[in-house]
Amino acid sequence: MRVRSGPRADVPAPVSAPTRRCFLIGSGLLLTFGPGVDGRAAATPESDATLAGLVRIAPDGSVSLVVPNIEMGQGIYTTEAMMIAEELEIDPCSVTVLTALPQDVTALSPAFLRSLSTGGSRSVRKAWLPLRQAGARARMMLMQAAAERWRVPVSTVIAESGRIRDRTGRLSLSYGALATDAARQPVPEHVSLKPRAAWTLIGNPVPRIDIPAKVNGQAVYGIDVHLPGMAVAAVQGPPHWGATIGNLDARQARGMPGVLDVVRIEDHVAVVARNYWTARKGLDALGITWTDGRDARLSSTEIREIMRARAMTGTPVVARNDPGADQADGTIIESTYDLPFLAHAAMEPLSVTMRIGADKCDVWMGTQVPTRARAIVSRITGLPERRVAIHNHMIGGSFGRRLATDFLEHATKLARQVSRPVKFIWSREEDFRQDVFRPAYHDTIRASIGPDGLPSGWTHRVVGPSVVDRFAPGGLPDGSLDADAVAGAVDIPYDVPRRRVAWTRVSLPVPVGWWRGVGPAHNVYVVESFIDELSFAARIDPIAYRLRLLGKNPRAAAVLRRVARESHWEAAAADGVGRGVALHDAFGSYCAVVTEILARPGNAFVIKKVTAVIDCGIAIDRDSVIAQMEGGLLFGFSAALYGDVTFRKGQVEKTNFDRYRLMRIAETPSIDVIVIESDEDPGGIGEVGTTAAFPALGNAIFSATGVRHRTYPLLSPPDG
């Protein structure tokens, strides 16, 4: 299978460029595809056929599958291609995968345009039915075309391995030979999907289709794009929040060989040059005087004090309020958790390549939200959206960073001042400085414990900034709930009779955005750590304690029992060994993790082994599920061990991997992932492991040392 996330713009477009006509999935709405993904005239032969919207077949039988999400390491090209190929009866290793682009679907409904976003572990959940239906519709159109050509009932023909044949075996035609006739068929309104017993792809291992291109260098990321006559620009943003450019002395930079221009907007400057190294040297040569913003001197300590004060004086927005939740009718246990800001720290730094003309704009980048990106470029340039083309590329890690479009906005404003195509690149240091961080939080959680040791009342108050405020049109109105702030706090897996969950908004100058695991990555750490505190107070084994609260949640109980068995939880732990458990049912999946550590003198420890059990419903690509769990756990462990964005005088203190550490290969533990067989619809997976990593590790540290961490990094001094 071949994958194309967007070709280099200096080579001809492959013949599989999306053109001609296709149909909206699930209806008969006709639309027209525009130019090829490189912005030039489409190169697809007119004899190519598009069936059911997402399937393209050439006369030679080659098949292209169009998928609605972007590949950023999670394996979505493979998984979504498998869903289409299963119903289309083709080998997924023989097809080309293309990314749907907003300019190609401008005639579709707003709901379809919005679906061109990748995040929140929603890709498979959204695509599970529509992509299989697209494959089934294309198959039925091919079968009908064959039946008409042979003048036989369609019930007497079958699809098999990229061909249509009759049941006698005497007649057979390839999909390529039938494609033109099939494209003339009406799109079936109702199709029957294959029963599970007939699946040959779903649930079976399939090689990742993006790996060969990544290994042989053919994969194109946004930062790889090259256009004829293109310049390269190095970008610098404000050193602290709210700062703007006061004075700019560009004389030395402009005099450097290879520097073409220096352009600026209110709070960003870019040196445009023939290559990136020259642009970086020019940027260093600029003389910039920055005006201080209102919060230029704010530090991490002061931010934490603001949040704690807000917890005392702010008016909470109630998310759940069961009667009697605050009633003190037993032993009261209360804890406070303070969680830090976190950086996205993706491997591929930010970049945007733009070509702005009088009546058209082309943008090459990696984005999780291409439809939103097109709307923003349209607004800034004044061009209608139909004149803006977003050429989306595979992303070298994002973790939610490219759900934001701040860097695209800056690039567009700067590019309007440049008369040639230009690639804007943010250095690693700038990528850290200009990040939209995962919010810091201050949580207070309290429970009334009855004679049986179980909670009868529960209150959880979350204090922190709003991510939705940054992204919602017009911002989040005062008094409204940011559901992401309480996700994983409202919807816990346990049956607690009376609960109250509330959020108090804090307005801070720090820009915030979604981070892998979103709300649950924060709240599950607090909830699962506190559940462990309750089990310790009740002197009940942590897994046994959780099971007592799961009588109404059999899927959660099943993964918890399985992880206990697979991790040999009942066996006595060796001296210095601690084991911690975490459970959650976020993102439509059920997950339990046991982490085992070996404590060493001082505050040191080693993660030795991790056992994870996941019930994600039907596991379409089991290998991908395992890989995503492994990667998600390590991503979460890295943040739990080392993650902590700190500020001094309004500036980010850690601006590269030398200070914002990630786990090393030598620190990687043995990880066993068990995928439970299920007939439920697929759940999400990309953020599940990350969410479980924090509490499983924190609880293991307590098991080994008796010290409870109510903040992280976990290698910092604990709260005690």
What is the residue whose two structure tokens read 């739990």? 640
Residues 420 and 449 in one domain: no
User: How buried is residue 232: exposed, middle or buried, by Cβ count under 10 Å (0-12/13-18/19+)?
Assistant: buried
Task: Considering only residues 52 and 585, tell me which one the structure prediction assigns the higher pLDDT.
Answer: 585
Residues 311 and 363 in one domain: no
Residues 268 and 164 in one domain: no
Residues 264 and 157 in one domain: no
pLDDT on residue 46? 46
Confidence at 125, pLDDT banded by 50, 70, 90? very high
What mean pLDDT do residues 343-358 have? 97
717 part of a folded domain = no
What mean pLDDT do residues 405-419 have? 97
* Domains contained in the chain, number: 3
711 part of a folded domain = no
pLDDT digits (tens, 9 = 90+) for 56-106: 898 888 899 888 899 999 999 999 999 999 999 998 888 888 888 888 776
Q: What is the pTM of this model?
A: 0.92
Residue 584, pLDDT > 70, answer: yes
Phi, psi of 78 (to 5 degrees): -65, -50
In percent, how much of the chain has pLDDT > 90?
Answer: 80
Residue 490, pLDDT > 80, answer: yes
What mean pLDDT do residues 456-475 have? 93
pLDDT on residue 39? 27
Residues 289 and 313 in one domain: no
Side-chain-side CA neighbours of 332 within 13 Å: the count stands at 9
Residues 448 and 541 in one domain: yes
716 part of a folded domain = no
90 part of a folded domain = yes
Confidence at 111, pLDDT banded by 50, 70, 90? low
Residue 114, pLDDT > 80, answer: no
Residues 417 and 476 in one domain: no
* Number of other residues whose CB lies within 10 A of the CB of residue 30: 11
3-state SS assignment for residue 655? coil
Q: In what order do the strands lie in the sheet with 157-160?
A: 157-160, 163-166, 172-174
Q: Are the beta carbons of 382 and 414 closer than 8 angstroms?
A: no
Residue 257, pLDDT > 70, answer: yes
Q: Are the beta carbons of 465 and 505 closer than 8 angstroms?
A: yes
pLDDT on residue 379? 97
Name the domain boundary from 391, 426, 461. Answer: 426
Spatial CA neighbour of 82 closest among 194, 166, 6, 187: 194
pLDDT on residue 145? 97
Q: How far apart are CA 316 and CA 435, in angstroms?
A: 28
Residues 456 and 587 in one domain: yes
Residues 139 and 282 in one domain: no
710 part of a folded domain = no
32 part of a folded domain = yes
pLDDT digits (tens, 9 = 90+) for 179-221: 999 999 999 989 999 999 999 999 998 999 999 999 999 999 9
pLDDT digits (tens, 9 = 90+) for 19-64: 222 332 222 222 222 222 232 222 233 456 777 678 889 888 889 9
pLDDT on residue 325? 85
Residues 167 and 272 in one domain: no
Residues 279 and 137 in one domain: no
- Report the DSSP pairing between strands 49-51 and 331-339: unpaired
269 part of a folded domain = yes
Residues 149 and 258 in one domain: no
Residue 6, pLDDT > 80, answer: no
Q: How far apart are CA 224 and CA 351, in angstroms?
A: 9
**Containing structural domain, residue 386:** 222-293+350-426
What mean pLDDT do residues 409-436 have? 97
718 part of a folded domain = no
Residue 547, pLDDT > 90, answer: yes
SS3 track for 515-557: CCCHHHHHHHHHHHHHHHHHHHHHCCCHHHHHHHCCCCCHHHH
Residue 465, pLDDT > 60, answer: yes
pLDDT digits (tens, 9 = 90+) for 148-173: 999 999 999 999 999 999 998 899 99
Whichever domain contains 228, its CATH number is: 3.30.365.10
Confidence at 470, pLDDT banded by 50, 70, 90? confident
What mean pLDDT do residues 126-151 have? 95
pLDDT digits (tens, 9 = 90+) for 298-309: 899 999 999 999
pLDDT on residue 294? 74
Confidence at 113, pLDDT banded by 50, 70, 90? low
Query: What mean pLDDT is reported for the chain?
Result: 90
Name the domain boundary from 150, 182, 216. Answer: 216
Name the domain boundary from 182, 216, 250. Answer: 216
pLDDT digits (tens, 9 = 90+) for 678-706: 999 999 999 999 999 999 999 999 999 99
